[in-house]
Amino acid sequence: MHLPFRLRWFWLTLCIVLLDRATKAWFEARTVEGWRQEIIPNFIYLVHSRNPGIAFGVLADSASPTTRVILIAGSLVVMGVLAWLLVAGKSGSAMGAAGLALLLGGAAGNVTDRIFHGAVTDFFEVWFGTYHYPAFNVADSAITIGAVLILLDVLFSRKHETSRQSP
């Protein structure tokens, strides 16, 4: 079976979702919330934390079921738009398609947590001196890398297209 180029990127999405879910399940099964292990002294830690909010703990203090429903619904809408952009071939280049696939996989991984557990499980923590970067997971990493790839695609593919069109 030969899949169109743009549909092949859904394999990357599926891999991200499976890797994200597997790592979260491993942490959830073997550690308790609040568990912490230093990996590289004063730099990288493995932790078990749960974030009921969105990125960087925004809305984490809201115990409202309405907030949870809005976050899930918003995630599903974003995932629908990302899937449409990927299927419709609106990603531009392979870099843009990879970025969309990573964003979609990360969003799917986190919304799965939110639906089944009410919060997203995070387990990586990074410190830079006294600066503490909020805990994150595989899905968050995929979202960040996907956003960077899309940004690079937008910045450099358009520039390249413009220089080709110039006489």
Residue 139, pLDDT score: 96
Annotation says 113 is catalytic: no
Residue 88: what pLDDT?
A: 82
Backbone phi and psi for residue 122, each to the nearest 5 degrees, phi listed first: -120, 150
- Of 20, 61, 113, 122, which residue is the catalytic one? 122
- Is 122 designated active site? yes
Residue 62: its pLDDT value, please? 62
Residue 110: what pLDDT? 94
Cα separation, 51 vs 134, whole angstroms: 10
What residue segments make up the domains of the chain, in order of their start?
Answer: 5-51+63-132+141-161
Rounded Cα distance between 72 and 75, Å, is 5
**Sheet order of strands, 44-51 included:** 36-40, 44-51, 120-128, 131-136
3-state helix, strand, coil in the chain (%, to 5): 60, 15, 20
| DSSP string for 14-68 | HHHHHHHHHHHHHHHHH--TT-EEEEETTTEEEEEEEESSSGGGTTTT---HHHH
Low-confidence ranges of the chain (pLDDT < 70): 1-6, 53-63, 91, 158-167
